[in-house]
Structure 1
Amino acid sequence: MAEELLNALAKIDDLKVAARTSAFSFKGKNPNVSEIGRVLNVNSVLEGSVRKSGNRLRIMVQLVNAADGYHLWSERYDREMRDIFDVQDEITLSVVDALKLKLFGKKKAAVLKRGTDNTEAYQLYLKGRFHWNKRTKESLKSAVEYFNQAIAVSPGYALAYAGLADCYVLFTNYGVAPPGESYPKARAAAQKALEIDATLGEALNTLATVKQDYDWDFEGAKRDYQKAISLNPNYPTTHQWYGEFLAQMGCKDESVAELRNALELDPLSLIISKVLGGTLLFARRYDEAIAQTKKVLEMDENFAPAHSDLGWCFTKQGIYDEAIAEFQKGVTLTNGSPSQLEGLAYAFVQTGKRSEAQKILEQLKQRQRSEYVDSGFFAIIHAGLGEKDKAFTSLEKSYQEHSAGMVFLKADPRFDDLRDDPRFQELLRRVGFTP
């Protein structure tokens, strides 16, 4: 229920709503309302509880002024489980009224639009989102199962198709499936969601990512990202993915600004905080990137992607022992993620441990026989070893695979060893960049 209320309120143009990752971080805790307001940078806090007995629900809700703890509105609902969606509509409109906001006509209809009236499908969708937010290889597979179950129960459920698209668009990044398998599935699911609901910004955001990562249609991706933001300006993932796109296009200042927009909407999001650090890394603002990435690890020291970014920051600054330590932590936490091993191998080379780097290279080659490993990882290691011909052979394979790694070529500092080679400039042109 909390997620559905959040999604409904986020559709109101004049209302800034903290995203689920940040808002839900307080679930099960008992913090001071003023502290919640300070951390999330919001003026009001909506809190409540749900008790279930058989098919009966008792829902307690209150809207509190974060500055002084004053209750702006409160209500108790005793209803049947089948009435859950009606209760959500009532709560949404009561919050709008308490905040003295005005909703008329199409705007009111958009806020109250339901993805489904089927409670079983809705619960399956929420389980899918829960697993999607974990961002692991296995959790993404689980999320796909839940979204497919939701669709089976409610075939016209656009949000479930959008969730399915969000899973498939991440499959390649997490080594679940190669680009030629995952991105067409992501496109089909996103397009199906938009056929059902053309105003669904979440699905358009994913379609933009397919155009960016797989089609290399950068102008089309930019248009879709911007339209997705206009459809749902409070959805932080669109700001995050658009910020990443801008970084890959070499728009350094704009990308950092967009990531800060995303972080303002979801200040406790690990992935957005990490991506902001990565964007600063792309901008070669290494000290700022290190400071930002350390903030992520203060929130969760076991968040492996942050260790990788920190490792690359240290590598680019010539602090190789610390770089190796960060990559090794990432390798341990991910059970040998190729992206962590790539960085570790590169750092080993810089300290003269070429044989250790060669071992990692062989290990990744063995794994590529049984799982998807982007050939671009090999290119980075070969570049570090000074084996440029082998690096470009690997990049050509990555190009033929239509790897999402190709979109990093223009701005990513990992490719700096190859940047002055005419073959690199030609590859940029083939992908669609202006060298």
Structure 2
Amino acid sequence: MKEDSNHSNRRLAAIMFTDMVGYSQLMQKNEAAALKLLEKQWEIVEPILNEFGGKRIKTIGDAFYTQFHSVLKALNCALAVQRRLSRFNATRHFEKHITLRIGIHLGDVEIRGEDAYGDGVNIAARIEPLAEPGGIAITEDVHRQVVNKVDNSFKPLGKPELKNIHQRFEVYQVILPWQDRRRKKDPNFPAEKNRRRRSRMRGKTPKVAHQKQQSTNRPFIYGALGALVIMAAVFLYKNNMSSLNRGLGRSIAVLPFENMTEQPGSDYFSDGITEDIISALSDINGLRVIARTSILQYKGTNKTVVEIAKEVNVNTILEGSVRRIDNNVRVVAQLIDIETDDHLWANTYDRKLDDIFEVQSDIAMNIANALEAELSTELTAKLTSSSTQNSQAYENYLKGKEQYFTYTEKGYREAIKYHNQALELDPNYALAYAELGNAYAQLYNTTKEVSFKDTGFKSVEKALSINPDLAEAYKARGVLNAYTGQGIKALEDYLKAVDLKPGYSDVIANIGYRYFAFGDLSECYNWQKKAHALNPNHRFNAWYHSIPLFIMNENESAIEILKKDLEKIKDSFEMRGILFYLHANNGDYKKAKSMLDELSKVRSDDKRIFELRGLYHLMQGEHEEGVRMMALASYPTEYSQLLLAQAYFKLKDKNKGEEILKNIEKASQELVDRGSPSYHPFYKLAQVNALRGDYDIALGLLEDAIGNGFRGYAHEDNFISWLVNPIFSEPIRPAYSREIMREDSRFIKLRERLEKIIKRERVEAGFLTKAS
């Protein structure tokens, strides 16, 4: 029977109206680009609408409205759309962002065939412009239906006058999780929300912060590097991919170039060439380039390229050698297909070190045309350009990098010396300024000397004034921001760096760590997984990869990752340490002790083991032995010191216990008063107050901690679950009361809230379906 297109009926429905920000202006500027973005928008949004049962009623240019039978599904759909677009935009140039405003209303609509009419539709369309770019606005009818059914908070926008709508009603902004963490500097951002309740600590409310383009002429070595990178890219992307293992994607490991120079102390030069090739290849999107840290362990190895490729999971290897005599340099390089053992490309370069123009014409210009078919003009220019024209400045830069990678205070100071020498020779050497910023950041973190921080920021800003698109400068500024408590700014800098250099492995790991600090476990997991793939032999990457998995209850996967990497890095403290915490949290102290015994065998001189042994005893109530072990530890974390304070109270040494609490309380309160977005000061203050028996204050602070990203575990270096933390699970004053904070109904409610958050993160990470 054919449906009558004139038939109509009225019903109560949820209407979602969307509009793309900046679409009209883009159409005027670049119609093709605008249409492409519009097509991409629908490609992203349509599957989400279908998932939540949305029915698209009408499309008007870049705007469309969709009908839902459930207002909760409408809101969850809008949240999913904005989350997906937020991730889509995170690593793309701003001109390629897809940013939507979304309005949702629940009201009476008239359905005529495939169209809908009435105030319900008009109101949704009128409130959509009230949403922020990338945001969601809802009416009070929607708010009333969903306020107790979602974890999000809401910001009232008042009762605006809407065109051709006579009644006035409250409109709300939905506080999105990423806005909750990143938009805290907005003075209108609510300081007190459902998800971040005010603390009741001694009547104070902790303050939570809402929180010249350079010449393309280059010395020989840069020309050679550009040539090697370009030739590798050409063969990987154009000529020989059919013979490569497609399961690994486009992937390459650049082995340490063999130093054939007889002069002692010249390894910095060949190592620098290796690193610069890795860095340049990392600019190419879609090419997985194994990081320097994982590669350097193969320096001087007797392993075959096939064995190495298997260990780092790549299908091509670039290897070579460098010989330097006075001002003459020979670079030999060959690109090998691991599947066929064929040489995809090989070349030998004999040049003078400072023969800039000859090398530029002989190498870079001769292959530029071959690149145009595969790489953008911008990337071609980037790969064949240089940050300096001065070969001696470049050598000083390499020496500085070599010293930095010793990761010692002396090494950082030496790095600064060499980078300054490079800048004396070339005052516009942007990379040298960026590396100065890195070195000063590490010195500041080591010494807490404010002048190092200030000089670091100045160095980075100078680098960016010379080259605004220098990924290394954004990375350095991100480190400085992270070390100065500016976590949100740090994340923004790191994302910008990865936008400019997609394979920047160190930054990718840092992004994962930032998301961990914000409590976004699914994002943390995705970034750490990528970092681990790019840098499989790094001492910390399996450890960082496993942390979000443990918190999301994916223990088997985490253990498998750790066991695999322990076969390569047999003396790892971090990997065995987190396995110790896993067993201790599960109450399996026999297995926990076996991890400690293994650590003592492979790292007999590491005093951090005493801290773990102290925790092993303190968690079991063996206070005297716990205190004795902690006294032997070098620098126990503040979280460990809190358990030590509890032990002193149990041993009737109140003065020592209170001294620890006062020190931690002072430092943590200062961070809170400065508006720290981190959960750490809140979680520490919660334990301080719990130890004093101030449960009401402690519970309020725990709620604040959860609102600031606490996900049940103190820290990667103190991975004790709050559910087994003796501070919350033992009577504080057993002589007077058997009261246990963990059994308090308010604690149980917080635990249930956190369980919901973890479940949500498991869904977003793909470990759990929404129906589970």
What does 1:236-275 align with in structure 2 at a 5 Å threshold?
Answer: 236-275=505-544
1:233 is paired with a residue whose SS is coil
What amino acid does structure 2 have at the position aligned with 1:247? F
Whose Rg is larger?
2
Which residue does the alignment assign to 1:12? 284
- For each residue in 1:158-214, what CA deviation from the matched residue of structure 2 results, as whole angstroms up to 9, or x when unmatched? 2233333333444576xx213756544543333333233221223213323443442
Looking at structure 1, the residues matched to 311 and 367 of structure 2 have their Cα atoms a distance apart, in angstroms, of 21
Residues 316 and 266 of structure 1: is their aligned pair in 2 closer, same or farther, counting only changes over 3 Å? same
Which residue does the alignment assign to 1:155? 427
Q: Contact 1:36–1:66 (CA<8 Å) still a contact in 2?
A: no
TM-score, length-scaled by structure 1: 0.78
Which residue does the alignment assign to 1:65? 337
Q: Contact 2:291–2:535 (CA<8 Å) still a contact in 1?
A: yes
Q: Contact 2:434–2:473 (CA<8 Å) still a contact in 1?
A: yes
What amino acid does structure 2 have at the position aligned with 1:51? R
Looking at structure 1, the residues matched to 689 and 598 of structure 2 have their Cα atoms a distance apart, in angstroms, of 26
1:245 CA displacement: 1.0
Corresponding position: 1:29 with 2:301 = yes
- For each residue in 1:95-145, what CA deviation from the matched residue of structure 2 results, as whole angstroms up to 9, or x when unmatched? 998899634532222122322233333333333333434445554454444
Looking at structure 2, the residues matched to 223 and 45 of structure 1 have their Cα atoms a distance apart, in angstroms, of 33
Looking at structure 2, the residues matched to 237 and 130 of structure 1 have their Cα atoms a distance apart, in angstroms, of 16
Corresponding position: 1:46 with 2:318 = yes
What amino acid does structure 1 have at the position aligned with 2:617? F
Residues 379 and 16 of structure 1: is their aligned pair in 2 closer, same or farther, counting only changes over 3 Å? same
Paired residue for 1:74, among 342, 346, 369? 346
1:242 CA displacement: 0.5
After superposing the two structures, state which structure 1 stretch, 82-91 or 195-204, moved more: 82-91
Which residue does the alignment assign to 1:228? 497
Which residue does the alignment assign to 1:378? 641
Paired residue for 1:187, among 428, 434, 457? 457
Q: Contact 1:307–1:329 (CA<8 Å) still a contact in 2?
A: no
What does 1:25-424 align with in structure 2 at a 5 Å threshold?
Answer: 25-83=297-355, 102-136=374-408, 138-171=410-443, 176-178=446-448, 180=450, 183-218=453-488, 220-283=489-552, 285-318=554-587, 319=589, 320-325=592-597, 332-334=604-606, 336=607, 341-359=610-628, 378-379=641-642, 381-382=644-645, 392-399=661-668, 409=679, 422-423=697-698
1:26 is paired with a residue whose SS is coil
What amino acid does structure 1 have at the position aligned with 2:513? E
Percent identity between matched residues is 26
Q: Which runs of 5+ in 1 are unaligned?
A: none
1:270 is paired with a residue whose SS is coil
Residues 89 and 157 of structure 1: is their aligned pair in 2 closer, same or farther, counting only changes over 3 Å? farther
Q: Contact 1:374–1:398 (CA<8 Å) still a contact in 2?
A: no
Looking at structure 2, the residues matched to 352 and 341 of structure 1 have their Cα atoms a distance apart, in angstroms, of 17
Q: Which runs of 5+ in 2 are unaligned?
A: 1-272, 651-656, 711-772
After superposing the two structures, state which structure 1 stretch, 151-160 or 61-70, moved more: 151-160
Residues 396 and 38 of structure 1: is their aligned pair in 2 closer, same or farther, counting only changes over 3 Å? same
1:295 CA displacement: 3.5
2:331 is paired with a residue whose SS is strand
Looking at structure 1, the residues matched to 361 and 315 of structure 2 have their Cα atoms a distance apart, in angstroms, of 22
TM-score, length-scaled by structure 2: 0.47
Residues 286 and 88 of structure 1: is their aligned pair in 2 closer, same or farther, counting only changes over 3 Å? farther
Q: Contact 2:517–2:709 (CA<8 Å) still a contact in 1?
A: no
1:48 CA displacement: 1.3
Looking at structure 2, the residues matched to 290 and 408 of structure 1 have their Cα atoms a distance apart, in angstroms, of 28
What amino acid does structure 1 have at the position aligned with 2:275? E
Residues 341 and 314 of structure 1: is their aligned pair in 2 closer, same or farther, counting only changes over 3 Å? same
Q: Which structure is higher in helix share? A: 1
Q: Contact 1:172–1:179 (CA<8 Å) still a contact in 2?
A: yes
Residues 162 and 279 of structure 1: is their aligned pair in 2 closer, same or farther, counting only changes over 3 Å? farther
Q: Which structure is higher in strand share? A: 2
After superposing the two structures, state which structure 1 stretch, 391-400 or 20-29, moved more: 391-400
What amino acid does structure 2 have at the position aligned with 1:59? V
Q: Contact 1:304–1:333 (CA<8 Å) still a contact in 2?
A: no
1:398 CA displacement: 3.3
RMSD: 4.2
Residues 322 and 273 of structure 1: is their aligned pair in 2 closer, same or farther, counting only changes over 3 Å? same
How many pairs were matched up?
421
Q: Contact 1:128–1:142 (CA<8 Å) still a contact in 2?
A: yes
Looking at structure 1, the residues matched to 433 and 702 of structure 2 have their Cα atoms a distance apart, in angstroms, of 35
Residues 363 and 18 of structure 1: is their aligned pair in 2 closer, same or farther, counting only changes over 3 Å? closer
1:87 CA displacement: 5.6
Residues 273 and 417 of structure 1: is their aligned pair in 2 closer, same or farther, counting only changes over 3 Å? same
